[in-house]
Amino acid sequence: MISFAGGLPNPRLFPVEEIADATEKVMAREGSAALQYATTEGFLPLREYIAARYRERKGLAVSAENILITNGSQQGFDLLGKLFLDPGDGLVMESPAYHGAIQAFGVYQPRFETVPLLDDGIDVDLLERVCESPGLKMIYTVTNFQNPSGLSYSAPKRQRVAEIASQYGLVLVEDDPYGELRFRGEQLPTMRSYTDGAVLLGTFSKTVAPGLRLGWVCADREVIEQLSYAKQATDFHSSGFAQRVLYQYLMDNDIDAHIAALTAAYKEQADRMLSAMDAHFPPGVRHTIPDGGMFIFVTLPSGLSALQLFKQAAREKVAFVPGQAFHPFGKGGDDSLRLSYSTLDGDAIEEGIRRLAAVMEREMSAAGSGV
Amino acid sequence: MISFAGGLPNPRLFPVEEIADATEKVMAREGSAALQYATTEGFLPLREYIAARYRERKGLAVSAENILITNGSQQGFDLLGKLFLDPGDGLVMESPAYHGAIQAFGVYQPRFETVPLLDDGIDVDLLERVCESPGLKMIYTVTNFQNPSGLSYSAPKRQRVAEIASQYGLVLVEDDPYGELRFRGEQLPTMRSYTDGAVLLGTFSKTVAPGLRLGWVCADREVIEQLSYAKQATDFHSSGFAQRVLYQYLMDNDIDAHIAALTAAYKEQADRMLSAMDAHFPPGVRHTIPDGGMFIFVTLPSGLSALQLFKQAAREKVAFVPGQAFHPFGKGGDDSLRLSYSTLDGDAIEEGIRRLAAVMEREMSAAGSGV
């Protein structure tokens, strides 16, 4: 089976030895502290490191007080839901949207409002129209190489969405798990550059390793304090052991060099997938062109169903995620699918796309012949 | 400052070198897997280990399918709240109750019903009366050396509470963070021995180390499945890195010998505190006698306020937790306080109790003289 379905970072690129070395140091120097209960907000040097990186790379005026360590970004969604969302509160999601966020926020029973994601970010005209509806509370966005679409917001659109959120008094959440994995084009500002109120989520899952389960929320100090209360009630704190090991790893290694190696590998895999798609996909099948991250999104010609395609593709031993997963309540998206290139080598990607193209062609000719 | 306020396990007893060795092995053998995303339910061998220990020690008919790995017991409360509690649902807590559970469940806005904890467990006559009230959903208990009281349920009371919960169709939660830390008397059955429906929470925070942030829920397979959905939405999974390190530690070491060393130390500290209390506390001050765990609970004679005592004690450089922390909304408990002996050596315990006794005496004579 060639699976384009996973959303996993490439395990061959994990810094296994470096994490082992970091653990050895931590246990030798501060083993008891690493194994004891810790502060809810997170390991202070790690929070300072994250804030400093934002100051240097993004020009954000933030310090450790603006950072809460979480169990990946996913826990950030849960805490934001706990803090901000009551049943029936309006929550704007992109269409398609990241399914982990749909799932996490869904627990708090918001009223989902979906706004199409265009090639340069969310459709701001429709967003403004939705913002006129009563009871709207939050906008959730993924601005860089979104999961599932691979699409990114342009700089003007980031600014415009930040302005709209401020104007309507909405909580603006910018989820940025992939921002560091840019392999084309220039780094763009975060929404927090345009509005201090924006809540910015990050994670070490894509740049270091998901198994540490460490991410963060960057927000105003008052919001961080409230989220920390919620975090305390939820699980006291994230693993102090994992936090100190991660911090030691970051101190002892050149993270930028490591990220450069990651993005070089992902670029090669993405480009291989893009050229295979262009060579083999039937006319009428469209796909996005990501500037980073791990995903390419495919839109099928009318009449083709991604779920139907999924079943046929499984027989040819190739897998993907049908688009319905990226819509609240699974409503919509059957003309689309997500492909990940992150864990496969070039030849597997080529072969998988060939198989998928063949299945598409069969389905299209069946649909065309009215069968 | 001599602090009896903390609820931390003694860091001098953490298996620092053993965890370092376990990490080295894990990273050498299965580093990539440890650093990758993992299953929501938890690392299967660890779940099997926990189930096997329950089968051997408690005679419970459980397997890995009955175990969900969580970020300490605290996350178990949060997931149970997510799954079972709607605003206004009745939740029975012991009085006094564990403050972490009050905090976690409080997020889901239950109607707290408190039932006094007696020397042999919750007051079952009052419990039955409360069970007659409409909308009751859950009973939360800590049956072994409860935090804050140090009290334990007798075997008949465990059985009776299990029967009552079954009879009224309530979710019965038995939180057992300290059960392995028994230093007097015999191991008693868990409530799951009497009713298959009971939800049993455990943790490695007290037997191995809190910094790993690993605990578990043991429950019926259907409940574990539902809790796993909630866990997936909350943070995907607990750190796979920490889970594999913990499992390797458990495989390579004699955990029973380690726990025996812990309980020997805690017994010595508890007995030192008990004898110091009996030697120095003024007449009318009562205290519990724990058979294990980390806490002794003190009840003050009428007219004395724990909050007032706390302020005076701070001047004498001795600290404790005033009883209000152990009541929903801080209502009640001002005649009581919690002392922990877990992290202090015998001489510090003796000196702290002397100081506290002196402050009590001053407060009592002031109260007696009408000042």
pLDDT recorded at residue B369: 61
Provide the number of structural domains found in chain B.
Answer: 2
Across the interface, which of A36, A103, A209 has its CB nearest the CB of B233? A103
Q: What is the dihedral of CA A321, A323, A325, A326, to 10 degrees?
A: 120
Q: Is the pLDDT of residue A109 over 60?
A: yes
Q: What is the CATH number of the domain that holds A233?
A: 3.40.640.10
Q: How many CB pairs under 8 A join A and B?
A: 176
pLDDT tens per residue, range A55-86 = 999 999 999 999 999 999 999 999 999 999 99
Where does residue A43 rank: exposed (0-12), middle (13-18), buried (19+ CB within 10 A)? buried
Determine, for residues A213 and B236 on separate chains, whether the beta-carbon distance falls below 8 Å: yes
* Final residue before a domain boundary, out of B202, B231, B252: B252
For residue A192, give both structure tokens. 């927090």
Share of chain A above pLDDT 70, in %: 99
Segment A347-352 shows an average pLDDT of 98
Same domain, B105 and B231: yes
Determine, for residues B37 and A8 on separate chains, whether the beta-carbon distance falls below 8 Å: yes
User: How far B114 CA sits from the closest chain A CA (Å)?
Assistant: 20
Segment B208-233 shows an average pLDDT of 97
Same domain, B159 and B199: yes
**DSSP label of A213:** -
Determine, for residues A107 and B82 on separate chains, whether the beta-carbon distance falls below 8 Å: yes
Segment B182-206 shows an average pLDDT of 96
Q: Which residues pair with A296 in a beta bridge?
A: A339
In degrees rounded to 5, what are phi and psi of residue B76? -60, -45
Across the interface, which of A35, A103, A234 has its CB nearest the CB of B78? A234
Question: What is the rounded radius of gyration, in angstroms, for the C-alpha atoms of chain A?
Answer: 21
Enclosing domain of residue A261: 2-11+257-368
Query: Which chain A residues have a beta carbon less than 8 Å from that of B16?
Result: 27, 31-32, 35
Determine, for residues B37 and A82 on separate chains, whether the beta-carbon distance falls below 8 Å: no
Query: Which chain B residues have a beta carbon less than 8 Å from that of A325?
Result: none
Segment B141-152 shows an average pLDDT of 98
Determine, for residues B235 and A70 on separate chains, whether the beta-carbon distance falls below 8 Å: yes
pLDDT recorded at residue A367: 81
Pick the closest to residue B218 from B203, B233, B229 (CA basis): B203
Best residue in A3, A26, A37, A77 for a mutation probing chain B (most B CBs within 10 Å):
A37
- Tell me the residues of chain A between 191 and 250 that have a Cβ less than 8 Å away from chain B: 205, 209-213, 230, 232-242, 245
Same domain, B230 and B137: yes
Beta carbons within 8 Å of B99's beta carbon, 6+ residues apart: B148, B325, B326
* Final residue before a domain boundary, out of B212, B234, B252: B252
Alpha-carbon distance values, A127 to A115, A121, A123, B95, B304 (Å): 6, 11, 6, 50, 60
For residue B256, give both structure tokens. 């029973």
User: How far A365 CA sits from the closest chain B CA (Å)?
Assistant: 39
pLDDT band at B172 (very low <50, low <70, confident <90, very high): very high
Same domain, A63 and A100: yes
Q: What gap in Å lies between CA A11 and CA B240, rounded to an integer?
A: 14
Q: What gap in Å lies between CA A140 and CA A77, rounded to an integer?
A: 10
pLDDT recorded at residue A71: 97
pLDDT band at A248 (very low <50, low <70, confident <90, very high): very high
pLDDT tens per residue, range B15-24 = 999 999 999 9
pLDDT recorded at residue B368: 76
pLDDT recorded at residue A366: 87
Segment B108-130 shows an average pLDDT of 97
CB A91 within 8 A of CB A328: no
pLDDT recorded at residue A349: 98
pTM of the complete model: 0.96
pLDDT recorded at residue A371: 47
Same domain, B223 and B347: no
Across the interface, which of A78, A209, A240 has its CB nearest the CB of B234? A78
ipTM attached to this prediction:
0.95
Query: Which chain B residues have a beta carbon less than 8 Å from that of A74?
Result: 233-236
Same domain, A223 and A266: no
Same domain, A7 and A58: no
Same domain, B73 and B97: yes
Across the interface, which of A8, A71, A82 has its CB nearest the CB of B235? A71
Determine, for residues B34 and A211 on separate chains, whether the beta-carbon distance falls below 8 Å: yes
CB A180 within 8 A of CB A207: yes
* Final residue before a domain boundary, out of B202, B220, B252: B252
pLDDT recorded at residue A369: 61
pLDDT tens per residue, range A249-307 = 999 999 999 999 999 999 999 999 999 999 999 999 999 999 999 999 999 999 899 99
Same domain, A184 and A264: no
Q: What is the dihedral of CA A96, A102, A105, A110, to 10 degrees?
A: 70
Same domain, B268 and B207: no
Q: What is the CATH number of the domain that holds B356?
A: 3.90.1150.10
Q: ω into residue A283 within 30 of 0, thus cis?
A: no
Beta carbons within 8 Å of B82's beta carbon, 6+ residues apart: A107, B108, B230, B234
pLDDT band at B180 (very low <50, low <70, confident <90, very high): very high
Q: What is the mean pLDDT of chain A?
A: 96
CB atoms within 10 A of CB B282: 16
Vertex A82 angle, CA A81 and A88, to 5°: 60
A82 at B interface, C-beta within 8 A: yes
User: How far B24 CA sits from the closest chain A CA (Å)?
Assistant: 6
For residue B271, give both structure tokens. 């007995």
Same domain, A170 and A238: yes
Same domain, B321 and B294: yes
pLDDT tens per residue, range B38-74 = 999 999 999 999 999 999 999 999 999 999 999 999 9
Determine, for residues B24 and A20 on separate chains, whether the beta-carbon distance falls below 8 Å: yes
pLDDT tens per residue, range B268-326 = 999 999 999 999 999 999 999 999 999 999 999 998 999 999 999 999 999 999 999 99
- Within A71-160, strands assigned E span 90-95, 111-118, 121-122, 136-142
